[in-house]
Chains A and B, each alone.
Chain A
Amino acid sequence: MRTNSRNFYLIPYVLWIALFVVTPLLLVLYYSFFDIEGHFTLENYRKFFTPVYLKMTLSSFWYAFLITLFSLLIAYPTAYLLTKTKHKQLWLLLIILPSWINLLLKAYAFLGIFGTYGAANSFLEAMGIGGRQILFTDFSFIFVSVYIFLPFMILPIFNSLDELNPTLLDASNDLGGSSWVTFKRVIFPLTLDGVKAGCQIVFIPALSLFMLTRLIAGNRVITLGTAIEQHFLVTQDWGMGSTIAVFLIIAMVLIMVLTGRRKRGIL
């Protein structure tokens, strides 16, 4: 009886997974074996290994790596300081708030801020550095992407820092550990799970960014996401679009496995 009712509860979940996760994945795989005229072929896979797509893959990974790295560098100290403040939840809310605003609106706002006559350039001129082109550069692309992904990096790190037992820090102190040693040997290893979760949440979507590449980078940065969008909407070459998607999925699974939870050695 008990197992029966447990299985009963599983039905909606299984249905959901089957309909909205497994079926689409199978469809993507299925479409990847057809060319533009609907004939079965492996040509798409051969095409993926030509310099054009390999270069695109490399540059996607490179930009996603940079975005993740800078997000982490900013997010970790921020999350650490957050745990030390008095009204943690309020500050956290303020950091999460911008993520409620539509991505496109934020991107358009940056078009204005980074423009030749925008706020950023007026500021640079007032500082005596002089105006320069900010929009449509690698810098603006990475800056805006980091800005957008930052809350997703801060949250898991904040949570793991917040759960950290403060007595462990006292113990480290009592045993003569300097603050650097405490950080390296106690705080960081214990919050590693949060860092990993944050990196996954940022790296994987960053790999397939597409709107920002046009709006902020002016198509000077081409990622796999841009190519998928173009194949589905413009060329209507669903086969090639799906093939790229298959490789993206494989890459994501690999990343999940590599950064996945291992058995905790401490505690």
Chain B
Amino acid sequence: MKKLIQALAAVLIVSFALLYIVSGLNSSQGYTSGNTLTIFNWGDYIDADLVDKFEQETGIKVIYETFDSNEAMMTKIEQGGTAYDIAVPSEYAIEKMKEEDLLLPVDHSKIPNLKYIDQRFMDLPFDSGNKYSIPYFWGTVGILYNTDILGDKKITSWNDLWNPEFKNQILLIDGAREVMGMGLNSLHYSLNDKNTDHLIEAKEKLDRLTPNIKAIVGDEIRMLMENDEAGIGVVWSGTAQELMWEKDNLEYVVPEEGSNLWFDNMVIPKTAKNPEAAHMFMNFILDPENAAQNTEYVGYSTPNQEALKYMDEETISDERFYPDEEMTARLEVYENLGKRMLAYYNELFLEFKMHKK
């Protein structure tokens, strides 16, 4: 009994000592409450040097965490374990978070740099008046292909992927909306189609693509394409741009039939502890020079008109990443489908994944 109590006491003393040391370390580095900014962003979606620069300029300490899907991000914010000051959801997620009252309004007077944002990216249907969100990046979904592996075969449309010559060559991103959207687009239906017959038709068409599919993966797609593991990858435009900067044998195309146009905006979750710092950070990121630096690192397209002046001429004249009006007209933004329809999309996607070769 005595030994047991001694052991318990020892454990408790060690735990409290550790707790004390950790809080001591945190405060010596400036991590006190009121002086930190917790950012929740997609993986590999910011130039880390900018975070350092922000810390130096403002004296605010940044805690940076990442997620890999809108849904995972929303689940975490809803449950409220960590109080995030900034999150970066995509448009349909913003719509949903607004509906569920998870966001704080943004005070535009605290973000003077907002004037640099191209008017095309302001006041969009998912957040009219930009009451809750400030543009961060935007881009498309398209096809990245390896010219060494495919030789002189060109890809211009979704339907090209069904070519039997591409047996076991395609990597898909593991997202129900992206893959189902690809099936719907290849049949010239809308990405937001809610017609069950159309959806089943799209799923059956995707089933026929199975022999060409090598794997359905997550963020690893970047590494796999980089290592010439497959000839074709269906990816987001920024992944493509980043890889194309590194490798000459990769080409990106936004398919003819149309594709997804998406926007990632910065928002302040309702649980935020330091909205003041969140506004400061938003303003900092919208500074044209910072935005240019961030864009050159991340590879997605910036909504910041003024930042384009600081960037490579070759990058911003590339229509695949800065599409003109004619191309934009073919692109569609995801709408919030509602829980039931989204569940149905996911169910079809699951069935498609189970379809054997």
Contact = CB atoms under 8 A, between A and B. Distances in A.
A201 interface: no
A51 to B, nearest CB: 9
Given A116-B228, A234-B69, A52 B351 contact: yes
Contacts of A219: 174, 215-217, 353
A111 B223 contact: yes
B44 to A, nearest CB: 15
B28 interface: no
B71 A234 contact: yes
Contacts of A233: 69, 71-72, 75
Interface residues of B, number: 30
A235 B72 contact: no
B339 A236 contact: yes
Interface string A231-252: 0111111000000000000000
Interface stretch (B19-27, B108-116, B276-284, B342-350): B342-350
B340 A220 contact: no
Contacts of A218: 171, 214-217
A214 interface: yes
A115 interface: yes
A222 interface: yes
B346 A230 contact: yes
B229 A116 contact: yes
B354 interface: yes
A236 B71 contact: yes
A99 to B, nearest CB: 23
Given A133-B168, A222-B353, A214 B217 contact: yes
A69 interface: no
Interface string B168-191: 100100101000000000000000
Contacts of B339: 36-37, 236-237
B75 A236 contact: yes
Nearest to A213: B353
Interface string A204-222: 0000000000110111101
Interface in A147-177: none
Contacts of B357: 220
A133 B171 CA distance: 14
B29 interface: no
Contacts, number: 76
B350 A237 contact: no
A136 interface: yes
Contacts of A52: 347, 350-351, 354
B313 interface: no
Contacts of B342: 235
Contacts of A220: 215-216, 357
A10 B215 CA distance: 51
Interface string A97-122: 00000000000000100011100000
A234 B346 CA distance: 8
B221 to A, nearest CB: 10
A199 interface: no
B174 to A, nearest CB: 6
A106 B71 CA distance: 27
A226 B171 CA distance: 19
B228 A56 contact: no
Interface in B320-357: 339-340, 342-343, 346-347, 350-351, 353-354, 357
Interface string B152-182: 0000000000000000100100101000000
Contacts of B343: 36, 235, 237
A187 interface: no
A117 B228 contact: yes
A215 B228 contact: no
A137 to B, nearest CB: 10
Nearest to B351: A52
Contacts of A214: 174, 216-218
B124 to A, nearest CB: 24
B33 interface: no
B220 interface: yes
A88 interface: no
B354 A55 contact: yes
Nearest to B74: A236
22 contacts: A36-B343, A37-B339, A37-B340, A52-B350, A52-B351, A111-B223, A116-B227, A116-B228, A116-B229, A135-B229, A136-B214, A214-B216, A214-B218, A215-B217, A218-B171, A220-B216, A227-B350, A230-B346, A232-B75, A234-B176, A235-B71, A236-B71
Q: Closest 6 A-B residue pairs measured CB to CB?
A: A218-B215, A219-B216, A136-B215, A235-B346, A234-B71, A235-B343
